[in-house]
Amino acid sequence: MEDSKIIELYFERSEQAIPETAKKYGAYCKTVAKNILGSEEDAEECLNDTYFAAWNSIPPAVPEKLVLFLGKITRNLSLNRYRKDKTEKRGGKETSAVFEEMEEVVSGNDDIEKNFERREVLSAVNEFLGTLPEEKRSIFICRYWYFDSIEDIAKRFGRKESGIYSELERTRKKLRKYLSERGYEI
Amino acid sequence: MKSEEFIDIIGDIEEEYLLKAHEERKIKKVIPMKKVFALTAVLIILGATAIAVVASGMEAEYKQSYDVSLINGFGREMEGKGYTIELDLLPVSIESLNIKPDEDDRPWETECFYRTSEAVDYIGCEKIETPDLGLHCGVNWVVIEKEDHINPNYAVITSNHQGDGIKFTTKTHIIIGEETGKSVVYEDSFEAGGLNGKDIVYTSEYFTNANGINYLVVKSSVVEDYHVEIYGKDEFEKVIYINAYLVKNGIAYTFSAEEKTVYHESDPEITKLYEEKIYKPENNAKIEKYLKLWADSF
């Protein structure tokens, strides 16, 4: 079913919206959730939460790209759950790795004076991503947005895992430099 | 800022980028090459020194589709043969070839870190007719990254060369990919300048262009349907991956897919043409002239 039809179902408050969403984007959302949470069971629960959140959001929201809309919900819910789980010593190993990797980019400093407006940093990150060749950008996003494992990324892009590691490392360094040069010592 | 907060920020990046990555995730996961009906060809450079190549292709399920007609190395359309290849091809004029180095990287990395998919962005591609031979000429080049970009499905070539203060490693190894329809994987290895076993790549040359950029040039003769890719060790600044059948006024007609190129099937007729046409000294001279022009454009 086309996205516009699925969204119509939400607007009509038709419960059919959920199975149609699940049919088309269930696997996608579940992958995102599982990447972050590392557990099939947790991912499944998160998936249900995603449907519920979508149901509560549409309307009024009218997603331009339903796949991204759902992906973002799943990602946010999964990360929230991961944080909760972390205190209970649970959570996906990829997520821990991703956070560790990103420590190369951020200072880890909570000094309020050094905290910039989120939107400013986001804007700079977007600018930076715009400077990357398409594939490098996609690899970065696969890792830091989708939390894909290095192994999966390497397979997708026909590369060696070590190659993906080193490329991500270079990209992180560049990102840090890019932000730093613009005054964002985050 | 904590890394978790930063990851949250990344969650809101441009949808355009997300969408593209999403598409990549969808497409590339099904990359398995079903068929490789590949192929190849040849070339030259620096007087008697030839270059080379390899070409190959595969069926669909791969990258974006471009509306291009597939023309084999001898100008024969591949239409009607069920060849559905999706090329990662961007036509640009040769004059616009221009690699912009990453400033942060070391010089050799600057050149090496462009993967083939990026490299094709720079491929010169203008059609010329060569009615005298009935050929289209083609020049492909692939800028190869470091060793860690090895794709195990493809060929691996390192070379042995010492010059300009840079010593290259000695081993050359080639893994030949799937044979058309048989999923047979061949392996072979050879020292630069020689090949043990199959007559795939029989020499490699190294040269430096006018701008001081070093290239590894590999001469190859592949007469069967193989799928081969060349990549360089980290010492290599650049590996040129070339198909050139004819060159005219420094303009070439090029097809290239990411890491792959489709030219023709190998058959006796083509082999004959190959032998009769490609190795003509006058053709070599043209190709050499072109190649220099091209290489110096970097």
Q: What's chain A's average pLDDT?
A: 81
**Taking residues A117-139, what's their average pLDDT?**
85
* Secondary structure class of A69 (helix, strand, coil): helix
What confidence score (pLDDT) does residue A107 get?
Answer: 66
Give the ipTM of the model, two decimals please: 0.80
Alpha-carbon gap: B98 to the closest alpha carbon of chain A (Å): 15
Q: Which residues of B touch A24 (CB under 8 A)?
A: none
Residue-level pLDDT at B26: 67
Please report where in the chains the tokens 């010169």 appear, as a residue.
B124
Distance CA B13, CA A8 (A): 26
In this structure, of A94-108, A112-126, B7-21, B57-71, the range with the lowest mean pLDDT score is: B57-71
Q: How far is CA B176 from CA A37, B38, B173, B203, B239, in A?
A: 40, 11, 10, 16, 18
The top-scoring range by mean pLDDT among A148-152, B23-27, B108-112, B222-226 is: A148-152
Examine the pLDDT at A74 and tell me if it is beyond 80.
yes
State the Cα–Cα distance between residues A36 and A149, nearest whole angstrom. Answer: 10
A91 vs B79, higher pLDDT: A91
Which tens digits make up the pLDDT trace of B227-279? 233 333 333 333 333 333 322 222 222 222 222 232 322 334 434 444 444 44
Closest chain A residue to B151, measured at CA: A159
A residues 14-73 lying closer than 8 A (beta carbon) to B: 64-65, 67-68, 71-72
Q: B19 and A106: CB-CB below 8 Å?
A: no
Q: Is the pLDDT of residue B56 over 60?
A: no
- Does the pLDDT of residue A11 top 60, yes or no? yes
CB B239 within 8 A of CB B232: yes
A184 vs B197, higher pLDDT:
A184
Is residue B280 pLDDT above 50, yes or no? no
Interface membership of B185 toward A (CB under 8 Å): no
- The predicted model gives A146-172 an average pLDDT of 80
Overall average pLDDT of the B135-146 stretch: 25
Q: What is the mean pLDDT of residues B221-225?
A: 27
Who wins on pLDDT, A158 or B137? Answer: A158
More confident residue, B156 or A143: A143
Gap between the Cα atoms of A163 and A166, Å rounded: 5
pLDDT of residue B149: 30
**Is the pLDDT score of B185 beyond 80?**
no
- % of chain A with per-residue pLDDT over 90: 2
| Chain A contacts in chain B segment 204-243 (CB below 8 A) | none
Mean pLDDT estimate for chain B: 34
CA–CA dist B244, B56 (Å, integer): 14
End-to-end CA distance of chain B: 41
* Bridge partner residues of B251 (DSSP): B248
Mutate to test the interface with A, among B13, B110, B120 (most CBs of A within 10 A): B13
Q: What is the pLDDT of residues A80-113, one digit of tens each?
A: 888 777 755 555 667 777 877 877 777 666 654 4
Reported as a pLDDT band with limits 50, 70 and 90, residue B131 is very low
How many angstroms away from the CA of B21 is the closest CA of chain A? 5
